[in-house]
Amino acid sequence: MELIYSKSREGRRGVSLPDFDVPEANAVPEKMMRKEPANLPEVSEQDAVRYYINLSKLNIGVDTNFYPLGSCTMKYNPKINEVIAKLEGFAALHPLLPQLKHGAALTQGALQVIYDMERMLCELLGFAQFTMQPMAGAHGELTGIMMIAAYHKANNDHKRKVMLIPDAAHGTNPASAAMNGFETREIPTDDHGNVDIPALKEVLGPDVAGLMLTAPSTLGLFDENVKEVCNLCHEAGALIYCDGANLNALFGRVRPGDMGFDVMHVNLHKSFSTPHGGGGPGSGPVGVSEKLAPFLPISRITKMKDGTYCLGYDYPKSIGFIAPFYGNFGVILKAYAYMLSIGRDGFLRISENAVLNANYIRTKLKPYYKQLFDRHCMHECVFSVDIQKEKYDVSAMDIAKGLLDRGIHPPTMYFPLIVHEALMIEPTETESKETLEEFIDAMIELAKLAEENPDEIKKCPVKTPLKRLDEALAARKPVVKLEEK
């Protein structure tokens, strides 16, 4: 389709603004003003609407197609949660509104939502306290590691400068540790897909501050030795962090706090059905055990004896402000509505179906794609295209491009790094058996095509608006502006 600039006609407008009814003022400093007008297309409202609607149809999204993006939990978001977040009483509400106006408390509804969310997450996951302040999963990681650092500092244990990270952990873990000043050391995976216990014992010592364990791991596996890992870390004086981005597999089955984890972040946009991506606000709440509770960020919401809620700041050991303005209140509200609507039994069904769907795909595709660890998986399954690559020079990228031609968003590719030519597939609990069958048939068809006609699969995609691109060139020399012809 043509760019919207091709529809531009001088003088055409898509908006009609009223005359100013306030005095003119130079709110923007002169030095910050553009010297030349922006080269924006001049189109009617109708042309603008049609252009962007048609543009949106070129994308594959979770509301239009199967989206098995491993480790990201791209599940369907019930639209009722959006409706609830738009209710006037909530849409016009913010936790930082003045506490009282004409004798009425303006913030109580918002503060109760956040307070209730913290309590429900504590019950669901087995932690003493939660904070809703972090704005995303990686932000939650950063917050959790900041509290681990503050804990050791408060104990005058300044020699603990090392954070251990298994090689099957999420990729943001080392960054969160490094941003807190920790040296990171990698722990290998054993032959069963678990943390290598002998390797862990070898590096645990007085310099280790903690270990960051993704549970389940990016291999889609639950570590069979998780309690031993936690105990070993605690015996060495270290704390253990749980990366909760893969929580869908555990709901209602096990509580990470009960297993021995000291701190954990969760993703509302993954496990609690709020919108995923788009550059808008997110939410990555963090739960802690009693020993870390004094270090939670401020402000903290307190329920008073008279049943009202207030923001509290008097916590001398707190790591301070992480995101004080609650700009993501609407995101928290959608997750709140989701939790109340599905209830305790609903969380059990989530984990049942998430694990069942992933293992159904794993079993059906086992004859066609290599599995590095041949055991029951959790919410996602990981395959290798090693065999196809070696025999027919067909890569994981080729399989992914072939899926695009079949109306399916590709799974995560080339991750985790310890699996060569990896495809990480997460069907989520929201997909039907019929949808899974369509995906399985497409994957089998591509496996056979790789064997019988590898040149054809290397041309994919051929049915999309843009055909196969040179990804390396696009990454190294991106064209990010409109080029005049």
126 and 225 in a single domain? The answer is yes
d(CA 308, CA 72): 37
pLDDT of amino acid 1: 80
pLDDT of amino acid 372: 93
Instruction: Say if 312 falls within a structural domain.
Output: yes
373 and 442 in a single domain? The answer is yes
Reading phi first (left if > 0) and then psi (alpha if -120 to 50, else beta), residue 388 is in alpha
413 and 396 in a single domain? The answer is yes
DSSP letter string, 179-203: HTT-EEEEE-B-TTSSB-HHHHHHH
DSSP letter string, 36-71: S--------HHHHHHHHHHHHTTS--TTTS---BTT
Q: What Å distances lie between residue 86 and 89, 302, 331, 378, 432, CA to CA?
A: 8, 26, 11, 35, 29
pLDDT of amino acid 278: 65
pLDDT surpassing 70 at residue 100: no
Question: Could you report the per-residue pLDDT of 238-275, keeping only the tens digit for each?
Answer: 999 999 999 999 999 999 999 999 999 999 999 998 88
Tokens of 334: 């959608």
pLDDT of amino acid 369: 98
pLDDT of amino acid 471: 82
Average confidence (pLDDT) over 196-207: 97
- From the list 382, 359, 386, the residue with the least C-alpha distance to 218 is 382
Domain count, the chain: 2
325 and 358 in a single domain? The answer is no
pLDDT of amino acid 132: 95
Reported confidence tier of residue 484, pLDDT bands at 50, 70, 90: low
Instruction: Say if 27 falls within a structural domain.
Output: no
Domain range for 397: 348-475
Instruction: Say if 77 falls within a structural domain.
Output: no
**Cis peptide, bond prior to residue 281, ω within 30 of zero:** no
Residue 452 CB neighbours (<10 A): 10
d(CA 355, CA 49): 41
Reported confidence tier of residue 92, pLDDT bands at 50, 70, 90: confident
Average confidence (pLDDT) over 438-463: 96
409 and 446 in a single domain? The answer is yes
pLDDT of amino acid 96: 83
Average confidence (pLDDT) over 348-372: 97
> Hey, is 104 helix, strand or coil?
strand
Reported confidence tier of residue 327, pLDDT bands at 50, 70, 90: confident
Instruction: Say if 132 falls within a structural domain.
Output: yes
143 and 292 in a single domain? The answer is yes
The percentage of the chain sitting over the pLDDT mark of 90, rounded to a whole number, equals 74
Instruction: Say if 1 falls within a structural domain.
Output: no
Instruction: Say if 373 falls within a structural domain.
Output: yes
pLDDT of amino acid 291: 96
Which helix (H) or strand (E) covers residue 129, if one does?
Answer: strand 129-131
Question: Could you report the per-residue pLDDT of 27-59, keeping only the tens digit for each?
Answer: 788 888 888 888 899 999 999 999 999 998 888
* CATH code (residue 134): 3.40.640.10
Tokens of 196: 């290598």
pLDDT surpassing 80 at residue 281: no
Question: Could you report the per-residue pLDDT of 173-196, keeping only the tens digit for each?
Answer: 999 999 999 999 999 999 999 999
Exposed e or buried b per residue across 308-325, where buried means at least 16 C-beta atoms within 10 angstroms of its C-beta: ebebeeebeebbeebbee
pLDDT surpassing 80 at residue 433: yes
Q: Are strands 263-265 and 286-288 parallel, antiparallel or unpaired?
A: antiparallel
Instruction: Say if 481 falls within a structural domain.
Output: no
- Determine contact, residues 381/71, Cβ cutoff 8 Å: no
Residue type, 25: A
DSSP class of 248: G
pLDDT surpassing 90 at residue 171: no
123 and 214 in a single domain? The answer is yes
DSSP letter string, 383-399: EE-HHHHHHH---HHHH
Question: Could you report the per-residue pLDDT of 15-30, keeping only the tens digit for each?
Answer: 888 888 888 777 788 8
Which of 340, 372, 390 finishes a domain?
A: 340
- Determine contact, residues 6/39, Cβ cutoff 8 Å: no
d(CA 421, CA 230): 31
Tokens of 220: 């889609």
pLDDT of amino acid 44: 94
Residue 82 CB neighbours (<10 A): 14
436 and 330 in a single domain? The answer is no
The percentage of the chain sitting over the pLDDT mark of 70, rounded to a whole number, equals 97
242 and 328 in a single domain? The answer is yes
pLDDT surpassing 60 at residue 447: yes
pLDDT of amino acid 104: 54
Which of 340, 359, 381 finishes a domain?
A: 340
353 and 307 in a single domain? The answer is no
Q: Are strands 239-243 and 208-214 parallel, antiparallel or unpaired?
A: parallel
Which of 296, 322, 340 finishes a domain?
A: 340
**pTM, whole model, 2 decimals?**
0.90
- Determine contact, residues 131/297, Cβ cutoff 8 Å: yes
281 and 189 in a single domain? The answer is yes
- From the list 64, 74, 141, 127, the residue with the least C-alpha distance to 379 is 74
Exposed, middle or buried: residue 116 (CB in 10 Å: 0-12, 13-18, 19+)? middle
Within 8 A by CB and 6+ apart from 180, the residues are: 142, 145, 146, 148, 149, 163
179 and 290 in a single domain? The answer is yes
Q: What rounded mean pLDDT belongs to the chain?
A: 92
Instruction: Say if 483 falls within a structural domain.
Output: no
* CATH code (residue 459): 3.90.1150.10
